[in-house]
């Protein structure tokens, strides 16, 4: 077993005795940030409405089984056929990420997922807490961006937790694995490159009703409308690779840099 410590940020709502105090402190810090931005000393990479402002810094200690921590440079591809809106039959080869997503009741990930979401009453808040953990505790450095463009390796969620970094595939596999421990079954979204020569991208579609059940401490302009309908069910789209806490279902400036959804894979 490997003992790990991770610092991360999580939405408010899991500690009633501290939530109101922390929310007031966030308002003060948020005002400072907006003043800095207006004066040109700060920077915002995403629409302000997408950023989770009411956050608490936390630290978690946990263990993972080193024997489950693998990385392979030989991803398995699966071919899928679909008919596009023009009625044209398309064939696409995709990396089979779902085979790396941990099954429910994983001995490492179930205790971690429960600890990360302890105190949150709704599955929407639990999902948001998981997404923010992956966003703020797992780095997406430039070398992994380059690996993304080459295809990179395929990591187990345990390997990503040990490394503390990964590319978009690693982030998605880890987030999906943790959500799966809570009975929340996301879908993996494969996005086509924006233009020839660029890399594709992956995101998650998370079931729930984030518009009806938003985080209790969310901003007034929070409106999750980035959704996907798949087999009669609505999924809210989550970008889990960025090193900033954003809302599930929020539209990001990063949307301009990727193409449309090419394929939806169930786990």
Domain locations along the chain:
2-266
Torsion angle in degrees (nearest 10) through CA of 70, 74, 79, 80 = 40
CA angle 240, 139, 191 (to 5 degrees): 35
The residues with which 223 forms a beta bridge, in sequence order, are none
pLDDT at residue 140 is higher than 80: yes
Share the mean pLDDT of the chain. Answer: 82
Are 228 and 207 within 8 A, CB to CB? no
Residue with tokens 């429960």: 114
Cα of 66 vs its chain's centroid, Å: 23
Q: What are phi and psi of 100, to 5 degrees?
A: -100, -5
3-class secondary structure, 2? strand
203-245: pLDDT as tens digits = 999 999 998 998 888 777 778 889 999 999 999 999 998 877 8
3-class secondary structure, 66? helix
Residue with tokens 């599930």: 248
79-114: pLDDT as tens digits = 555 556 676 655 555 678 999 999 999 999 999 999
pLDDT at residue 187 is higher than 70: yes
pLDDT at residue 38 is higher than 60: no
């Amino acid at each position: 077993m490997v003992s790990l410590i991770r610092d991360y940020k999580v939405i408010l709502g899991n500690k009633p005795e501290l939530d109101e105090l922390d929310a007031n402190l966030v308002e003060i810090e948020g005002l400072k940030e907006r003043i800095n931005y207006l004066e040109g000393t700060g920077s915002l990479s995403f629409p302000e409405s997408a950023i989770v402002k009411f956050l608490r810094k936390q630290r978690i200690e946990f263990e993972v089984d080193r024997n489950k921590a693998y990385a392979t440079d030989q991803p398995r591809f699966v071919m899928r056929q679909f008919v596009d809106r023009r009625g044209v039959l398309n064939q696409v080869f995709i990396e089979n990420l779902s085979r790396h997503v941990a099954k429910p009741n994983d001995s490492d990930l179930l205790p971690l997922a429960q600890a990360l979401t302890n105190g949150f009453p709704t599955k929407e808040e639990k999902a948001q807490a998981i997404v923010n953990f992956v966003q703020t505790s797992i780095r997406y450095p430039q070398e992994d961006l380059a690996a993304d463009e080459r295809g990179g390796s395929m990591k187990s969620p345990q390997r990503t937790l040990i490394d503390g970094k990964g590319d978009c595939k690693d982030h998605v596999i880890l987030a999906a694995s943790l959500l799966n421990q809570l009975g929340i079954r996301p879908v993996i979204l494969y996005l086509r490159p924006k233009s020839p020569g660029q890399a594709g991208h992956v995101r998650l579609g998370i079931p729930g009703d984030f518009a009806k059940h938003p985080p209790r401490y969310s901003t007034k302009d929070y409106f999750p409308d980035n959704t996907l309908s798949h087999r009669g069910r609505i999924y809210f789209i989550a970008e889990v690779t960025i090193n900033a806490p954003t809302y599930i279902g929020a539209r990001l400036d990063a949307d301009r840099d990727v193409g449309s959804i090419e394929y939806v894979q169930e786990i």
